[in-house]
Amino acid sequence: MREDIGQLDEAHIPPGVRSIKEARRGRLRIPAIQVRQALQADDEPPMFLRARFGWNVQEVSGSLGDLGTFLPHIVGAITVVRMDPTGILTTFGLFYALSGAFYGVPMAVQPMKAASAAVLIEPMNPGAIAGAGLVIGAFFLLIGMTGIVSRIARALPSTIAAGLQLGLGLSLGVLGIRLMQGQLWLGVAISAVMLVLMRYKRMPVALIAVVVGIVVGQLLGIAPPFPRLDFGLHLPHLILPSWLEIVHGTTNAVLPQIPLTLTNAIIVTAAVSRQLFPKSCIP
């Protein structure tokens, strides 16, 4: 390995990085992500740094990519079970912000589809849902701390992760088509605009699509009017589930959700992160 970074082949230098020597001059105040050069072994010290946060419109646009799957599940839980929207949205935002800050990579929103479907079908109250959340969180914390989840991921062939990515992409595509059926002309028009804008790499396509859809819907009266906004500090309510509610939530929501979370939200997310950030020293 050559010690002079300036003489390294540019094709093997990860994009968007800077020399690790710059950190010693105090230019990076926020702890950055250490990155190895492409030809380095995993046990060699990193040679570059990558910014932990991406401050650009592309990141904002990418953050809207999962709204099509996230919002229906959240709205269903709020309207059917009468859950407090403040608690749901606040905890979602805090946990994803902390996860993104800790790992320094884009974190995909992964709503628990099987659990949310059970919430809409089975008669469950907020206490049972809180109990289900405690159980499933404790379960994955346990298998993560003991290394069981890593052994499961190594035992599964890479084709399974690829198949899950393909299946998830097709599912999102089908969901998008279903959402377009109500206003087919608007969906087709926005999709055509997105296809044209995708030719420009720096264009926040998803953000533009969301803004255009909201504006057109309000101007033409095909979308519900904006509700009256009530600004203020709204703290989430604490729910302490009973043992019966914990058992009920575990039976109906946790058991069907564990396989989906293990494969889709954990193994596939880790595989995509290794593929897109192969040399980043992610915790």
User: DSSP secondary structure string, 54-69?
Assistant: --SHHHHHHHTTTHHH
Do 160 and 279 meet the contact criterion of CB atoms below 8 Å apart?
no
pLDDT of residue 168: 61
pLDDT of residue 190: 83
The token pair at 153 is: 């991921």
pLDDT < 70 regions, the chain: 1-16, 22-29, 38, 40, 42, 61, 64-69, 72, 108-110, 158, 160-162, 164-165, 168-169, 172, 175, 202, 278-283
Strand order in the sheet with 33-35: 17-19, 48-50, 33-35
> Is this model's pTM higher than 0.75 or not?
no
pLDDT of residue 16: 66
pLDDT of residue 3: 47
Residue 238 forms beta bridges with which residues? none
Alpha-carbon span 146 to 99, nearest angstrom: 20
pLDDT of residue 197: 82
Residue 35 CB partners (closer than 8 Å, separation 6+):
14, 17, 46, 47, 48, 49, 50, 279, 280, 281
The token pair at 105 is: 């990579």
Do 99 and 107 meet the contact criterion of CB atoms below 8 Å apart?
yes
pLDDT of residue 6: 46
Q: Measuring CA to CA, which residue among 265, 267, 259 is closest to residue 159?
A: 267
Per-residue model confidence as pLDDT tens digits over 190-208: 888 888 887 877 677 777 7
pLDDT of residue 38: 66
